[in-house]
Amino acid sequence: TRPLTLLGIESSCDDTAAAVVRGVPGCAEICASVVRGQAQLHAPFGGVVPEIAARAHAEKLDLCVAEALAGAGLSLNDMDAVAVTAGPGLIGGVLSGVMCAKGIAAGAGLPLVGVNHLAGHALTPRLTDGTAFPYLVLLVSGGHCQFLIAHDHATFTRLGGTIDDAPGEAFDKAARILALPQPGGPAVEAAARRGDPARFSLPRPLLDRPGCDMSFSGLKTALLRQRDQLMVDGVLKAQDRDDLCAGFQRAVADILAEKTRRALAALHEAGPVDPTLSVAGGVAANGEIRARLGAVCAENGVAFTAPPLALCTDNAAMIAYAGLERFAAGARDDMTLAARPRWPL
């Protein structure tokens, strides 16, 4: 088959992104990938403000697209199609991206391909490693947490996921409770390095239940209670804080490791020749969590791949690539493509 070149657009949360990807399903390369975060815009509010995000996307999308094309040394004439995240996500941001993609598609006479953001994450191991179907994906970010078996580019089995907070959200809340900066993940991980993970016993909800569902919100409540017991005149000692971080991170890692063990058993039933687990999402940046998942895979004779961090977190290369797989399979969208706040895989 002839290599395809796609422009991808992503704007479903707080990253405005555009990318150019070229190749065929299972063997593609990133020609350019531009991501503009909005952290400074949302920092004063302690979380992503949807209206501010949507406006920033609308302002920055054209620039990101121009930078991606220039970075690839290509023009719209060289594209075979435009792929865009059509959901799930913050509706204002998704709409900004879909409108931008429709404008480009109509203006340049290019086919339009809508992409599910979660499919973008789930297909990333195909882009980075050419991983063959079927394989297991663990999505762990600020907004997502689920185990998926990817059977082909459009067919995913959800084995389980969080019933409350996503793990990244739990890290962010833990950081807030312990007066550490946002995003919480890196701050908690740094503090945990100086702490004793065994000093406090924090809960591991749902670990005793069968299946792959997870829960992280009880962990945050337990952390809050421990903190309040330790604080003297509203002050928490640095060592207490670090020990709490270490205990919290260990609990998250224990939950993810045990549920991964069960998900691998389910993958075994799906019967791939060379089983692979791939992680995606910002939490995959965590060293302890990565090491634990790697160890569970080694125990089970399963290959473990973690894409480079820039492709774990939100980006448009994964959207261009997922669009490439859809486009190669004959999928086309038109000007009726809708932005969807919710869109389960």
Binding residues for Fe cation: 117, 121, 314
Nearest to 318 by CA among 28, 121, 64: 121
Residue among 90 and 113 whose Cβ is closer to ligand KG4: 90
> Using CB under 6 A, which of 20, 123, 145, 283 touches ligand KG4?
283
- Which positions from 295 through 334 interact with Zn ion, judged by CB under 5 A? 314
- Alpha carbons 298 and 316: distance in angstroms, whole number: 31
Instruction: Give me the least distance between CB of 140 and ligand KG4, in Å please.
Output: 8
At 4 the three-state DSSP class reads strand
Instruction: Give me the least distance between CB of 39 and Zn ion, in Å please.
Output: 15
- Which positions from 58 through 117 interact with Zn ion, judged by CB under 5 A? none
Q: How many residues bind ligand KG4 (CB under 6 A)?
A: 20
- Of these partners, ligand KG4, Zn ion, none, which one is at the site of residue 120 (CB under 5 to 8 Å by kind)? none
DSSP 166-231: -HHHHHHHHHHHTTPPSSHHHHHHHHHTTS-TTSS----TTTTSSSS-B--HHHHHHHHHHHHHH-
The H or E element that residue 313 is part of is none
* Pair 288, 315: CB distance under 8 Å: no
> Using CB under 6 A, which of 26, 111, 183, 272 touches ligand KG4?
183
Residue with tokens 């940046």: 285
Nearest to 256 by CA among 302, 215, 298: 215
Instruction: Give me the least distance between CB of 168 and ligand KG4, in Å please.
Output: 3
- DSSP E strands: which ranges in the chain? 4-10, 15-24, 27-37, 81-87, 112-116, 135-140, 145-152, 155-161, 276-280, 303-305
Based on the shown chain and the rule CB under 6 A, indicate whether residue 171 belongs to the binding site for ligand KG4. yes
* Pair 44, 91: CB distance under 8 Å: no
Based on the shown chain and the rule CB under 6 A, indicate whether residue 127 belongs to the binding site for ligand KG4. no
Instruction: Give me the least distance between CB of 57 and Zn ion, in Å please.
Output: 14
**Which two tokens mark 29?**
């390369």
> Using CB under 6 A, which of 281, 302, 320, 322 touches ligand KG4?
281
Based on the shown chain and the rule CB under 6 A, indicate whether residue 314 belongs to the binding site for ligand KG4. yes
Residue 129 neighbours by CB under 8 Å, 6+ apart: 278, 305, 307
Instruction: Give me the least distance between CB of 245 and ligand KG4, in Å please.
Output: 11
> Using CB under 6 A, which of 143, 161, 275, 307 touches ligand KG4?
143
Among the listed ranges 92-100, 167-175, 192-200, 262-270, the one in contact with ligand KG4 (CB under 6 A) is 167-175
- Of these partners, ligand KG4, Zn ion, none, which one is at the site of residue 142 (CB under 5 to 8 Å by kind)? ligand KG4
- Of these partners, ligand KG4, Zn ion, none, which one is at the site of residue 183 (CB under 5 to 8 Å by kind)? ligand KG4
Nearest to 318 by CA among 67, 58, 21, 114: 21
Q: Which residues contribute to the site for ligand KG4 (CB under 6 A)? A: 13, 141-143, 168-169, 171-172, 183-186, 189, 281-283, 285-286, 313-314
